[in-house]
């Protein structure tokens, strides 16, 4: 019997090693590659789930706004400097404002209609846009909370801030700026 050459033995050993180790190395290699990808997929699925919830909440708000828009405008009440006197950079309701709002609540109760209130907050153009949007929301929210304390249900009211984007007078004079510091209550059926 002839003795195999060294090169033949090396080729056989390398081939056998490649066959036996190749399968194991491939499985380990795949596991090492798949684990980080699985983690990324899980993270993306979680993120998509959060986006789904956020999208659904936005859709719900849009649907509610659409229903509000479908409502028929009845009338509005403007609370501005001449009657409520919102101070510059302030949202606190004065005693005079509370009296006027109480009259409005009594009117709502005496009419006994199932109405919806949109409470719009406005500011003059003094200050940064983001600050004015927040201040407009604070003013509208102060009115909304007052109404709620007087028995108007929260689910019948919404607030929105227009900040300084919808002036009714020029912001170039103190009188004009005072007219722009206001809350408008829109009554819809």
What local confidence, expressed as pLDDT, does residue 46 receive?
A: 83
Of the candidates 93, 79, 83, the residue with the CA atom closest to the CA atom of residue 142: 93
Looking at the predicted structure, is the pLDDT value of residue 150 above 90?
yes
When comparing pLDDT for 171 and 48, which is higher?
Answer: 171
C-beta of residue 170 within 8 angstroms of C-beta of residue 55: no
Looking at the predicted structure, is the pLDDT value of residue 73 above 70?
no
- Among 17-31, 51-65, 69-83, the range with the most confident prediction by mean pLDDT is 51-65
Q: pLDDT band for position 114 (50/70/90)?
A: confident
- Among 71-75, 91-95, 170-174, the range with the most confident prediction by mean pLDDT is 170-174
Q: How far apart are CA 98 and CA 104, in angstroms?
A: 10
C-beta of residue 144 within 8 angstroms of C-beta of residue 104: no
Locate the domains of the chain by residue range: 7-70, 72-188
What local confidence, expressed as pLDDT, does residue 40 receive?
A: 80
The superfamily (CATH) of domain 72-188 is OmpA-like domain (3.30.1330.60)
For tokens 């600050």, the residue is: 131
Check residue 124 and give left, alpha or beta (phi > 0: left; psi -120 to 50: alpha).
beta
Of the candidates 179, 168, 188, 187, the residue with the CA atom closest to the CA atom of residue 84: 179
Looking at the predicted structure, is the pLDDT value of residue 25 above 60?
no
For the whole prediction, is pTM greater than 0.85? Answer: no
């Amino acid at each position: 019997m002839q003795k195999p050459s060294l090169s033949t033995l090396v080729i056989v050993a390398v081939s056998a090693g490649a066959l036996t180790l190749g399968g194991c190395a491939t499985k380990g290699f795949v596991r090492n590659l798949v684990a980080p990808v699985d983690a990324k997929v899980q993270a993306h699925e979680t993120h998509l789930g959060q986006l789904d919830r956020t999208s659904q909440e936005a859709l719900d708000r849009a649907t509610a706004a659409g229903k509000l828009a479908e409502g028929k405008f009845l009338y509005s009440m403007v609370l501005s400097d001449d009657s409520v006197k919102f101070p510059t950079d302030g949202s606190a309701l004065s005693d005079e404002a509370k009296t006027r709002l109480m009259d409005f609540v009594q009117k709502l109760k005496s009419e006994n209609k199932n109405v919806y209130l949109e409470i719009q907050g406005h500011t003059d153009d003094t200050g940064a846009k983001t600050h004015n949007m927040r201040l407009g929301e604070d003013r509208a929210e102060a009115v909304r909370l007052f109404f709620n304390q007087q028995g108007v249900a929260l689910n019948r009211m919404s607030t929105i801030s227009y900040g300084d984007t919808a002036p009714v007078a020029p912001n170039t004079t103190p009188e004009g700026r005072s007219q722009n510091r206001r809350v408008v209550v829109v009554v819809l059926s």
